[in-house]
Chains A and B, each alone.
Chain A
């Protein structure tokens, strides 16, 4: 790779951040040594080995909304199956939010296609080996369950009126439908990470734990969204407390998953954690790991500890935590997709990744 000279001001802005660089080295266990690598490794003029992904903002938003749809459904089902009477508020909000988050997903996916009018070709076959085929079927069947559950909820809440149809719908056993729906919801929250892992892009595929990260992020962002809505509409403190504990746990597992991901990906994780040009470490450390996970997790810890003593709800802090987690969940998907583009362009890391 030839050194490219940048204008002074840009160079200053892009000068490596020592703290983030240290974090990058620490988490990936890899210290870049460009001179040595150039000497030892060969490639064809550093032309990319792989083709760049075609996926852009539509997919980022789909991953975010898909995670919310699946996660909200799971949490709503947990509350409805195991929760107390008070927790019905979680189930109600969760099922509505799940359908709401699901709405933009199909249009986003169709818009992303090269030939959107051929989107139905996805339903020609059922292919277990292809995560995208499974994802299509998963999304289609989940939307059936999500829609049905939300309609039953609406009938029970009296939104659909008092005619015989609404009464009939309200009588449908929602919990029975929620069981397969929850399995599909978990699938929707996690398959996207499996889809990225089953590619040749070094960043996405090397560690194979991206699905675990995505599914925990789906649950953390969903509990953030539900608790945000419940705070706005006024819900019992005990219910909120349960949600906060789940959110706290999901963030913990997400952080552990991300650290496993970074360590397992090693050198190929540079586009995600590094701070050189075309690397997305600045966004990753400040908006995803720092602002989107570590900070809200610490705030949540403090709030859970004080909440246990006083049993009061701290609405202001809770709302800030929710917003931070949601922002972090969006930027997690965004940095991973964008860094995947950079990863596919890096010829020598791609070749390194294929050496085993």
Chain B
């Protein structure tokens, strides 16, 4: 899924108009808008190879994180960080049958009985490498910046360091960021973070802006061996996501669901969306986070109300004797 190579509009360069515009501060004509680009991460295809993590680190020249043994799963990365922009999660669902979770025991018993009587073993549900009668699951997800359509980090940024590129991705201009930390608390997904050992500015996935400019897909998508990470135009990816979840549902993977594809999330959807095999919270994804900027008006009104009441009382107290 390649992008059209980026061509800068060179019309008028060197002309009198360009000289004048450079004098008044417009150094360059605005970059032509491109279709919105994003990721679709289909976790039903993820095999947890962490190739995306490695490819991302290599391409973006990010230092390796300290080797920490989490002890809880194969995930020793732990979280997205200023130097880790792809993070593969490992969620072990073991012993679900014994616990009889969600009526799975009955379902499985019925399926086994069915298989015995008809002599046909049903197809393995997608996303499970295990035999159909086994309810143990190993969910994997390659987490990444969501490139939210209205991005809370971008809305919070007081310096204008965080911008939307011509590809409608969310990008931090490292030479502008002064590390105020407001985007860190604005992000509802805990993605963007300040690098406390390196340059003390915030970092996150750039959706390989440099590669996109040259019409190449991002490093993680390129490296993904199962096409779990798909890159392309957001609208096309969303259409594909809806199709894919329909196929999975039809094949009996009732838990399959989309995350961030519909426009309800954060008032505009996510340009980097996901197909999940369980509730979002199992993957530490908030179900329906609020957009922090929506709080500005109500919070301001409450503040003004309190100030007004106290102002009136102050007037009364100082006036009257």
Which residues of A pack against B, CB within 8 Å?
A: 41-45, 47-55, 74-75, 78-79, 82-84, 87, 112-116, 118-119, 121-122, 124-125, 127, 129-133, 135-136, 186, 189-191, 193-195, 197-201, 204-205, 208-216, 219, 238, 242, 245-246, 249-250, 253, 257, 340, 344, 347, 350-351, 353-356
Contacts and interface: CB of A to CB of B under 8 A. Distances in A.
Interface centre among B191, B200, B202, by most A CB within 10 Å?
B200
B286 A49 contact: yes
Interface residues of B, number: 73
A41 B281 contact: yes
A210 B299 contact: yes
B122 interface: no
B192 A51 contact: yes
B306 A199 contact: no
Contact of A216 (B160, B286, B310): B310
A136 B259 CA distance: 36
B318 A82 contact: yes
Interface centre among B283, B298, B317, by most A CB within 10 Å?
B317
B78 A115 contact: no
Contacts of B185: 50-51, 53, 55, 199-201, 204, 340, 344
A130 B182 contact: yes
B296 A118 contact: no
Contact of A113 (B178, B191, B304, B305): B178
Interface string B254-289: 000000000000000000000000110111101111
B232 interface: no
Interface stretch (B34-42, B46-54, B149-157, B240-248): B149-157
Nearest to B303: A211
12 contacts: A43-B281, A44-B282, A45-B70, A48-B190, A50-B188, A74-B314, A78-B318, A82-B315, A130-B155, A208-B299, A246-B310, A356-B288
A198 B299 contact: yes
A118 B178 CA distance: 5
Contacts of A83: 318-319
Contact of B189 (A49, A119, A340, A347): A49
Given A199-B156, A214-B303, 14 more contacts: A42-B281, A53-B181, A55-B185, A82-B319, A114-B177, A115-B201, A118-B178, A193-B303, A197-B296, A200-B289, A200-B290, A211-B306, A215-B307, A253-B309
B69 interface: no
B190 A125 contact: no
Contacts of A197: 295-296, 299
Nearest to A213: B306
Nearest to A48: B190
Given A44-B282, A50-B190, A198 B295 contact: yes
Interface in B199-249: 199-202
Contacts of A122: 158-159, 178, 180
B180 A211 contact: no
B127 interface: no
A209 B301 CA distance: 9
Contacts of A194: 295-296, 299-300, 303
A242 B176 CA distance: 49
Given A51-B190, A354-B287, A246 B178 contact: no
Interface of B: 70, 72-73, 78-79, 89, 91, 152, 155-161, 176-182, 184-196, 199-202, 278-279, 281-284, 286-290, 292-293, 295-296, 298-300, 302-307, 309-311, 313-315, 317-319, 321
Nearest to B298: A208
Contacts of B317: 242, 245-246, 249
Nearest to B141: A44
Nearest to A50: B190
Given A127-B160, A354-B287, A113 B180 contact: yes
A132 B282 contact: no
A51 B305 contact: no
A344 B190 CA distance: 9
Contacts of A52: 184
A127 B182 CA distance: 14
Contacts of B290: 200, 205, 354, 356
Nearest to B184: A51
A125 B160 contact: yes
Contacts of B281: 41-43, 351
Interface centre among B178, B196, B295, B306, by most A CB within 10 Å?
B306
A246 B296 CA distance: 28
Contacts of B319: 82-83
B306 A253 contact: yes
Contact of A54 (B89, B184, B188): B184
A42 B181 contact: no
Contacts of A45: 70, 72-73
A231 to B, nearest CB: 18
Contacts of B160: 124-125, 127
A42 B278 CA distance: 10
A205 B156 CA distance: 14
B170 to A, nearest CB: 15
Contacts of A49: 189-190, 284, 286
B313 A44 contact: no
A3 B117 CA distance: 48
B173 to A, nearest CB: 10
Contacts of B283: 44
Interface centre among B155, B178, B288, by most A CB within 10 Å?
B178
Contact of B158 (A79, A132, A193): A132
B156 A355 contact: no
Contacts of B79: 47-48
A54 B177 CA distance: 14
Contact of A198 (B156, B161, B304): B156
Contacts of A112: 180-181
